[in-house]
Amino acid sequence: MIKVGVNGYGTIGKRVADAVALQDDMKLVGIAKMGMDYKTRIAASKGIPVFSAGDAKGFGGSGVSLAGTLEDMVKQCDIVVDCTPEGVGAQNKSLYEKAGCRAIFQGGEPHSLTSLSFNAYSNYASAIGAKFARVVSCNTTGLARTILPLQKDLGIASVRAFIVRRAADPSETRSGPINAIEPEREVPSHHGEDVRTVIPDLDIETAAAKVPTTLMHMHYVTVRFAEEGSDRDAVLEAWGRRNRIIMFSGKEGVTSTAQVMDYARDLGRPRGDLYEIAVWDDMKVEEMELSYFQAVHQEADVVPENIDAIRAMCGVETDADKSIAKTDKSLGIRAKKED
C-alpha cells in the first residue's frame, strides 16, 4: 500500500486527493494547507487528515483539528503529490529531499526542477523508481494524448497547434482577461517545448491566446504525416485504442465546450470532470495532413497522470497499460470495448 500525501488542496490537489482515495493500492495520508478556507473545511468533513503547511495559527478557531505539520505528513508518506501554486513546489523540493520522500510536481514548475516530465502514454517506463517527477501541464497533457498515438501508429513529420486558453478556473475571480482576447506574445509559445519533454525530437510549434471563458482550453492542431497513406479511418483507429481520448460530433449537438462539459456532468462524474481529451470528429485529412479541434478540461485531465506517476515512481506497477487501465477504471473512464 503506497502512502500518499497531497500538499495543496486547490483545483488539482483536491481532485488528486479524491483519486488517491479511490485506489486499492494507495492510502491517502492527508492533505497540507497553508490556512483555513472552505476547501480545508470540506476536506476535514470528508475525514481527510489536515496538516498545516504554514503557521498553525491560521487554523485557530476553525474547529478543524490539525494532524500535524507538513513536515509530519511528509515523514509518514512514501510519496507526496505537490499541488501548490507555481513556484512554491520548487521551494518545497528540499523538504522532500531531506525526508527521503519521493515527490511529484505539477506543470507550473519547470522541467529542470526534476529533469523528468511525465505523461503516462508517452514515457511511463522512464518514471519507474524515480525520486522526483513533474506531471506536465493540462495543455501539454492534451497535446501529448492525441499526438502520441498518431506518432506511434502512423508517423509524424511535424505538428503545428494554436491554443485558445481559458482565462481562469471557474472558482477564480481575480484572473483575466474579462472583455478581451490576450495573445501570448512569445511566438512560438512554450507549450511545444513542453511537449518535447515527453515526446523528444518532435517537430512541434505552438501559439496561444487567452479568452474570457472558464470552461476549457481549445486546441486547433495540424499534423503533417511522415508518409502517404494515412486517412480518417487510420486516425480514428489510432485514437480509438486509447481510453483517455473521447470523440464528439457536431452532428449530435456538441458544437462547443459548453456541451462537452454538459456531457461530463451527465456522466455523473464528481465535479463534472472530464479526464479525457475531447476531440471533434469533424476533422480534415488531406494530402498527408490532418487538422482537428480538441478541448481540454484543465481542472481534470492531469489527475489520472498523477495517479499513474505514483505507481511508476513507487515501483508497484511496471506495466504502463496495466496502471492506466487500473486508474481509468477507478475514475470511471470507460474502456473503448465497453462503448
Catalytic positions: 138
Put residue 253 in one of left, alpha, beta given phi > 0 → left and psi -120 to 50 → alpha: left
Phi, psi of 233 (to 5 degrees): -65, -40
Question: Looking up cell 521551494, which residue turns up?
Answer: 91
Q: Other CB atoms closer than 10 Å to residue 182's CB: what's the count? A: 14
Q: Cα separation of 161 and 188, whole Å?
A: 10
Q: 3-class SS at 85?
A: coil
User: What type of residue is 204?
Assistant: I
C-alpha cell, 164: 485558445
Bridge partners of residue 135, in order along the sequence: 118
Phi, psi of 295 (to 5 degrees): -125, 145
Q: Cα separation of 199 and 123, whole Å?
A: 8
Contacts of 330 (CB under 8 A, 6+ apart): 19, 22, 23, 24, 307
Residue 64 gets which letter from DSSP?
P
Contacts of 260 (CB under 8 A, 6+ apart): 215, 216, 248, 254, 274, 278, 295, 297
How is 247-315 classified by DSSP, letter by letter?
EE-GGGT--SHHHHHHHHHHTT-GGG---SEEEES--EEETTEEEEEEEE-TTTTTHHHHHHHHHHHHT
Contact 84, 12 (CB under 8 A): no
